[in-house]
Amino acid sequence: METAEIAGLIVNTCTGYLCPGVSTYLIEELGLKRSVKAYDLVGSGCGGAVPNLQLAGALARERPGGAVLSVAVEICSCTFQMGDDASLIISNAIFGDGAAAAVVSGKPGGFALVDSVSRFAPEYREDIRFVHRNGQLHNQLSARLPGLAAETAGGLVAELLAANGLTRGDIGRWAVHPGGENVIKAVQAGLALGDDDMRRTRKVLSELGNMSSATVLFILEEMQREGLRPGELVVLLAFGAGLSAHACLLRKV
C-alpha cells in the first residue's frame, strides 16, 4: 500500500504523551498527506489498541477507498524507577517498550472487523493507573487486580459472544493481553480457556514483556506467523487503566 492511500491516522499511547502528538511525527516521517485525518488517543492504558481499531474502522467506513493507519506505541521504560514498592518491582520486572501498527481499509485480505465491545469500571480506578511521585511516573497496581481483570473480561467476552450468536467454542484463537502471570492465570480460569489458548500470550510476555497497548497486536502477529484458516474467528481482549476492558471480534479473510 502506498502512503498516498492513507486517509486517516490514529495513534494511541499512555506512555509517550507529546504535544504536538506522536501523529505529527509520523505524518512527517512517513510522508503522509498533510490533509490526513489524524487523531491522538491517550489514557486507555494497556487496552488502548482496541479503541484505536474501533475508531479506525469507523473512519475507514466514512472514507471508502481510503485506508486508516492504526498505531499503538508505548515507552513503558519511562516508569522504571528505583524503590521497594511492590507495584514498582512488578512493573519493572514485566513491562517493556514496543510499537505495533495495522492498516484498516475496505480492501479484502487480513482480518475483517466483525464487532467490538468495551466496559468501564471507574470504581476500580485506583487498582491500575499511573501516579506521579516526586516528579516521577509510577505504575500503581493492586494485589486484587487479577481478580478484577478476570471478572471484567468475563462479562465483556460474554456480551461480545452473545451479541454475535457465538459460544467460546466458536472462537479459534484468543489474543489476550498479558498483564503478568497472575493476571493471565485469573483471566484464563475465568474464561475457561486451555493452556494452548494462552500459549501465544505467554510467549510474547516471556520474549518481549508487557508492552502495554501494543502487546495484543504482537500476539495477533504471532498467530499470523503460525497460520490461520479462512473464516477462523479471533478475539482480541485487552484491559488496562480505568479499569477498562475492550474486546474485538475478528474473522480471518
Report CA dihedral (216, 217, 218, 223) to the nearest 10 degrees: 90
237 has a pLDDT exceeding 90: yes
Q: Which pLDDT score is estimated for 30? A: 95
Q: What is the DSSP string of 70-135?
A: EEEEE-GGGG---S--HHHHHHHHHB--EEEEEEE-SSSSSEEEEEEEEEE-GGGGGGEEEEEETT
Q: Which pLDDT score is estimated for 71? A: 98
> Is 46 among the residues known to form the active site?
yes
Q: Is 13 helix (H, G, I), strand (E, B) or coil?
A: strand
Provide mean pLDDT across the span 66-93.
Answer: 87
Q: Is 252 helix (H, G, I), strand (E, B) or coil?
A: strand
State what percent of residues in the chain have pLDDT above 90. Answer: 69
- What is the per-residue pLDDT across 210-219, written as a single tens digit (0 to 9) for each? 999 999 999 9
- What is the per-residue pLDDT across 8-56, written as a single tens digit (0 to 9) for each? 999 999 998 889 999 999 999 999 999 999 999 998 899 999 999 999 9
Q: Are 247 and 160 in contact (CB under 8 A)?
A: yes
Bridge partner list, 133: 136
34/27 Cα distance (integer angstroms):
7
Provide mean pLDDT across the span 171-176.
Answer: 97
Provide the whole-model pTM: 0.92
Report CA dihedral (105, 107, 110, 113) to the nearest 10 degrees: 50
Looking at the chain, which residues constitute the CATH 3.40.47.10 domain(s)?
3-104, 111-252
In terms of Cα–Cα distance, which of 71, 82, 41 is closest to 241? 41
16/42 Cα distance (integer angstroms):
9
24/28 Cα distance (integer angstroms):
6
Instruction: List the CATH code of the domain at 111-252.
Output: 3.40.47.10
Bridge partner list, 17: none
The residues, any chain, with a CB within 8 Å of residue 20's CB and separated by 6 or more, are none
What are the C-alpha distances in Å from 38 to residues 8, 13, 21, 194? 6, 14, 10, 40
CATH homologous superfamily for 3-104? Thiolase/Chalcone synthase (3.40.47.10)
Q: Which of 46, 76, 78, 248 does the annotation list as catalytic?
A: 46
**Three cell numbers, residue 183:** 493476571
147/168 Cα distance (integer angstroms):
20
DSSP state of 156: H
The residues, any chain, with a CB within 8 Å of residue 56's CB and separated by 6 or more, are 8, 10, 68, 69, 70, 102, 104
88/4 Cα distance (integer angstroms):
44
**Three cell numbers, residue 219:** 500476539
